[in-house]
Structure 1
Amino acid sequence: MRLEDEIQQKEFKDAYNKAIVNLLFTHSYIVTKQNSLLKPFGVSPEQYNVLRILRGQNGNPITVSSIQDRMLNKMSNASRLVEKLKQKGFVNREECPADRRQVDIVITEKGLSLLTQLQEEILSQNRDLVQLDNEEVNQLNFLLDKLRG
């Protein structure tokens, strides 16, 4: 559906303004869909992002500040997200042996199990959300990378 119809706006100042509004609207649309998928599992998209970062560590610990640096949403509070994941049993916090002021975070088996459980549903949702063929998806990725410089 066209953006103009979705937000009930007849026209935009220019194509650049429309592109920005379109990106923001699309972001909101995707986050809403992700929330709906993840909510029954008791995690938010931001918590899911933290779990994926931790899984990528292959069992090696990582600090909260390193998690923050890798997050998709830089405005997220990584400390709060990690604490919520700890309460749910998805991560462990351990004192860093090299620097006692730092805390190491590691994903638990329960956290890995959740990611495995979600994997097919996420893949399916991604294909449903991005209704483009392979060539178009590659072009979209190229253009989004180019947009960010």
Structure 2
Amino acid sequence: MEPGTSTGDLAVEAGRAALQSAGDPVVDLVVLTTTTPDHHSPATAPWGAAQLGLGTLPAFDVAAACSGFTYELAVGDAWIRSGMAEGVLVLAAETLSNGGLAVADAVPAGDADPPPCRAGASGGRRPARSPPAAASTAPPSPRRRGPPPGSAACHPA
């Protein structure tokens, strides 16, 4: 890593490579996971989206260390399944020390058709876990499982 290279610089480099690799897909959302943002406010993702020439679109950071990439994939999946986005650019970048440890990766999501799932399956997602009985005396709230009724997110095999 060159001195002065920021987390945003790494994210833009990874994002540019991912977009070129995917054939410049439609991007409606940019999510960046990092524990070393360039700024706490504004977030690094909007700056990165602007550098990539993506125009005005939702962009935000997820600060959750190693699990952040998994979380942002879930967020991107939810935006696509809900119809709020056709494509999501998922970025991960870290600049953990001045000694040059830097990592960056990017995944454009939303280009492929969702894989088929079995009838009655939860759309590839595990059911939400209920809190332990001792954690709350309130009745559990109802949760819808699987894709919305009538959606194309899950096709019976």
TM-score by length of 2: 0.25
Q: Which has the higher helix share?
A: 1
Higher relative contact order (CA 8 A, sep 6+): 2
Q: Which has the higher strand share?
A: 2
TM-score by length of 1: 0.26
